Structure 1
Amino acid sequence: MGCLRLGTRGSPLALKQAEIARKQLAAVGVERMETIIITTTGDRIVDKPLYDIGGKGLFAKELQQALLEEKIDIAVHSLKDMEWHFPAGLQLTAVLEREDPRDCFISLNHSHYHDLPPNSVIGTCSPRRVSQLHYRLPTVLTIPLRGNVQTRLQRLEEMGLDGIILAVAGLKRLDLTHRITMYLEPEFMIPSAGQGVIALESRINDHQTNEILRQINHPPTWECITAEKAVLAHINGSCHTAIGVYAQRSDDGILFMRAVLEYDGRVRLASGEGADPYELANQVARSLLT
């Protein structure tokens, strides 16, 4: 085939993820590749919460349009930034092996979230993180904080915040784990569906590209994110939804899932296990909405 064109956002993390995808494609014999940087609406508007300007899909819309217009062959995404449904003609074709899915607490003055005094201010724009922080630490205050990883780390000091919450995967890929104060285990803060996963989207009718992508797909990760995204589909979850969903796969093929949803002013927790990702998702979604 000719040169394989990978579309990505231009942030340092997005470029690093595109580089990871390129290396895996090279490992299965792809020799000619080009990385094309595409600025998304989510990148251009950084002074408003995502739920005020259209949601997480704003990080994917322009990449998906470039796919549909055949300007690129593969769109490289952070899976957690994608909606659970896809535009007509496009599909999620492969996912790479999941990086650490946890969130983390970063602070300049506190070594543990238990050390936070009443009315401490934590920066995050995620309804999921806000909901779980208030549930676990009722006296903590939250303020919106957007921007790429480096920008948020900079604002931690500039704004005098007591802490911020970031995804571990992004910090690991950028070699910034030394900034982590404390890892937040899923028992404390359940991750976003697809967190830590690099997603590769393509056109359904691009059979040659799809065959290549299937060679680098990671089946255990695919199975977990299938269950996680199915929960979002069951409840029609969006960027406005304060929901966390995380599935793990045991060596014997059993999936264990935990989820949290704030709905009608109440935080609901659910968990389950099973071999079929769709049946498990249905079970957990029902528990969340009961």
Structure 2
Amino acid sequence: MVITDNHMHLYNHLRLKALKEFKKAGGTHVFLVSLLSSHYGILPSSGKDFVQIFEEHVKLVEKANEIVKAYAVLAVHPAEITILSQKWGVDRAVEIMKEALEIAGKFVEEGKAVAIKSGRPHYEVSDYVWKSSNEVMTFAFEVAKDVGCAVQLHMESYTKEGMMEVAEMAKKVGLKREKVIRHFAPPAVKEFEEIGIFPSVIAMGDNVKKAAELGDRFVVESDYIDDRSRPGAVLGPRTVPRKIKELLKLGYDEDFVNKICKENIEKLYDVEL
């Protein structure tokens, strides 16, 4: 049985041991997402500085594949705009982030990664930074359309209006809405279906159960951060396998699990599990 964690990080705590825990709990497939430039000890002055980050992440994913089946997602995290603008100003930060997204797209074209990550800040920012973040996110949609990949989005707290706005941005550049994945999504499966964007439901509390009650158009994630200062945050590496197995105990069959952990994943990322 395939059990997929759609969004996990390996950083400075358990690293590959986290995947051994994931596998022991029943996990089989994982999408590993790169982190902020600051996690790699880099303050980019150009998009080219992300090459080192992406290459390091791809090497980590190669090692992860010795344990489970792992795929690379390359992030230009929306919080980069805050970090970079402190040094270079907002306009240059936008340029650097766009350059980095183009590079991430090339990694996808070369088969080194399957998706990119973008979004907009989840914390309060000025109107200009918000507008600039939307510009970067729209550019990420353009890159994804050009290279034919999905985009995971890190965003502010969920509102239907906010998601509809994002869906419209994707539509304007010609990116299919179902290729836009809301990371850390609530179990609002019906609303997401109406909007067209795909939810990656955070496996917190009874979210997975609530999502399942509403349908099977979702995937599941732990958003495990692997930070030694917060060892179990956001959720531990065994969480997704446990929550999927709980669905089986509740009477959902393996076909249902196959839909959310395999079929949906294959459609989103154009991979074969």
- Which structure shows the bigger proportion of residues in strand conformation? 1
TM-score (norm 1): 0.28
Q: Highest CA radius of gyration, 1 or 2?
A: 1
Query: In proportion to residue count, which structure has more helix?
Result: 2
User: TM-score, with normalisation over the residues of structure 2?
Assistant: 0.30
